[in-house]
Amino acid sequence: MTNKDLAELIFPNIDKTIEDYEKMYPSRNGRVVTRIAPSPTGYMHIGGMYQSLVDYIIAKNNNGIFMLRIEDTDQKREVEEAVKLIHEALDTYGLHPDEFERDGKCTGNYGPYVQSERKEIYHTFIKHLIEIGRAYPCFCTKEELDELRVMQDHKKLRTGYYGKYAKCRNLSVEEMINNIKEGKPYVIRFKSMGDFEHKFKFHDEVKGDLELSENDEDFVIMKSGDLLPTYHFAHLVDDHLMRTTYVIRGEEWLSSAPKHVELFNTFGFELPKYVHTPLIIKKEGNSIRKISKRKDPEATMSYYSDLGYPKEAVVESLMTIINSNYEEWHTQNPDKSFEEFTYNPTKMSSGGAYYDLEKLNNLSKDIISKKKASVVCEESLEWAKKHSESLKEMIERDKDYYTSILNIEREQEKPRKDIVYYSMIEDLIWYMYDDKFKSKDKEYEWKNITDIDEIKNILNTYFNDYYDENDDKDTWFNKVKELCEKLGYASNIKDYKKEPEKYKGNVADISTVIRVSVTSKSNTPDLYEILKLLGTERIKERISLIK
RNA sequence: GCCCCGUUGGUGAAGCGGUUAACACUCAAGAUUCUCAAUCUUGCAUACAUGGGUUCAAGUCCCAUACGGGGUACCA
């Protein structure tokens, strides 16, 4: 009885060899290849998006290939729609993979790109490992393993299946074969030759040169039941065969890197470059923690589309935590796309990446303010079609009017920045719509002047004797000043501050009365523009509503 | 428990042996032909976790301690 017999017993139907696969998936001649490898467990997570962005940008920087591989080896956690959601998320943010599999069809020659479809490939590699005596079936039950862990814990030892604790590694081939024939359930473990006391140099693109202990654990490479490989083994086979050159993954993987190194070395495969990215963290009170899907709504990508953030804002905010010098680069190169930015892994923050919604909001405001009104119109309409019937109706009623409202204080060197995301537009401009202005349960936000007779006096005098919708802005404001003088208000704030007792108030008070009377709000964009858009007729109607 | 990684002002962060320790935000004061969450100007900080080393010189290198994070699965 030899290892070969054992391998044959476990994998009787595997007749391909590793060489067959090497030929099937030839070298890509030095071309840079990155890959995003999400597990289909639900909505796309912000960490996944961040990861994808790094993959994407490394590929773009090097004229390389960006792949999407679905890691569905944990079928217990799988969620039906998740694969579709992953594609959608990548699509909406413009991160189109060069190679992927969708609805059973592969784009690219290195597929399948779904792990559950690669079983035969994994089995070929495992079979080889068994043949050369570097993998073996383990019959330990869950209870036995728990016991082992408790014992190790108790003795303050390193927990795990290694060295003398890896008892199945010492079973004879005969015993293994008998156990299998008896139908005992088993997993396949890798037989490690590493020495934990021995350190080796490991280069991580983010953290630099590290010294890690060699792996000595006989970790599981194939699960019982579904016979799928664990992550560690799938990583070896897939990233080797797909000729991945950069493995970009979260920092939580750093501690298992020694396992991967031993695996690659055992097969004599070239190690890819590793980019262990910092985790996205969040502050909660005094504690810092990983951002979590369950606790933090902003951890899920749908949060951003629901509120209506422009997609560039989301990408920008992620880019700023990917490389701290991104913002500076972007202000210097405002017209360039993020794809042109040269990513530098050593510039990633070494602790956690702090994801800040306030930062996103600032970026978003800025980005929206720089868009043309017509673009904001179209994008907000697109959002409204999915999320807000009432905004959709407002826009479609009269697109030109809506666009003109958005255009107030926009086409100027420093445009007004008040829209953070599209869902807030309605709250910002509702008063420009007569039906909403009349029906809204609104409060007039009068400030210094609250006496209703005085208010009416100001408004009547102004709109009857001074206001002319054809005036240009300077003339318009000069007339407001004239009104002030006529009614005993200071037309100049400095004069007022010098001798406040001489006046009833000043030009700011008068402007506020006009503003509140037609919008009900004390704080709005440029008053001249608003009056002009409303037009004399509608203004008069609105004034008549004041009681 | 054990193994990794990290710790610079209120916040995010530059700096990688010699700097007045950048920059941005927050905050405060002021400014503006009207309001403002917009814009501009000025200002604010008992910031290099602690203790030891190495060095002419240390956020910057080394060692300990504390604190934080990650890992320690037939999860990825």
State the residue for tokens 């800025």.
A366
The predicted model gives A11-38 an average pLDDT of 93
A272 and A155 fall within a common domain: yes
Q: Which nucleotides of B are covered by protein (CB under 7 A)?
A: 1-8, 11-15, 25, 32-40, 68-76
Among A239, A255, A277, identify where a domain stops. Answer: A277
Phi, psi of A329 (to 5 degrees): -60, -45
C1' nearest to CA of A325: which nucleotide?
A: B14
A406 vs A331, residue with greater confidence: A406
C1' nearest to CA of A233: which nucleotide?
A: B76
CATH number at residue A518: 1.10.10.350
Q: Which residue is nearest to nucleotide B40 (CA to C1')?
A: A414
The predicted model gives A132-147 an average pLDDT of 93
Q: What is the pLDDT of residues A231-241, one digit of tens each?
A: 999 999 999 99
List the one residue out of A31, A22, A37 whose CA is nearest residue A235.
A37
Angle between helices A389-397 and A399-407 (to 10 degrees): 100
A91 vs A417, residue with greater confidence: A91
Collapsing DSSP to helix, strand or coil, A135 comes out as strand
Q: How far is the CA of A160 from the C1' of B60 (A)?
A: 38
Q: Which residue is nearest to nucleotide B71 (CA to C1')?
A: A255
Domain that holds residue A263: 3-12+119-277
A390 and A529 fall within a common domain: no
Supply the pTM of this predicted model: 0.87
A420 and A524 fall within a common domain: no
One-letter identity of residue A3: N
Is the ipTM higher than 0.85? The answer is no
pLDDT class for A34, splitting at 50, 70, 90?
Answer: very high
Angle between helices A507-519 and A473-487 (to 10 degrees): 110
Q: How far is the CA of A416 from the C1' of B37 (A)?
A: 10
Q: In this predicted structure, what is the pLDDT of residue A190?
A: 96
Domain for residue A312, yes or no? no
- Tell me whether the omega of the peptide bond preceding residue A112 falls within 30 degrees of 0, making it cis: yes
Q: How far is the CA of A351 from the C1' of B49 (A)?
A: 15
Domain for residue A223, yes or no? yes
Q: In this predicted structure, what is the pLDDT of residue A282?
A: 66
Paired residues of A248 in beta bridges = A275
**Is the Cβ–Cβ distance between A43 and A301 less than 8 Å?**
yes
d(CA A444, CA A422): 25
List the one residue out of A190, A186, A181, A189 whose CA is nearest residue A142.
A186
Domain for residue A42, yes or no? no
pLDDT class for A284, splitting at 50, 70, 90?
Answer: low
**Is the Cβ–Cβ distance between A176 and A136 less than 8 Å?**
yes
A408 and A472 fall within a common domain: no
- Sign of the CA dihedral A149, A154, A157, A158? positive
Locate A295 and state its tokens: 């606790």
Domain for residue A391, yes or no? yes
Q: Is A274 exposed, middle or buried (0-12, 13-18, 19+ CB in 10 A)?
A: buried
A488 and A384 fall within a common domain: no
Q: How far is the CA of A380 from the C1' of B75 (A)?
A: 40
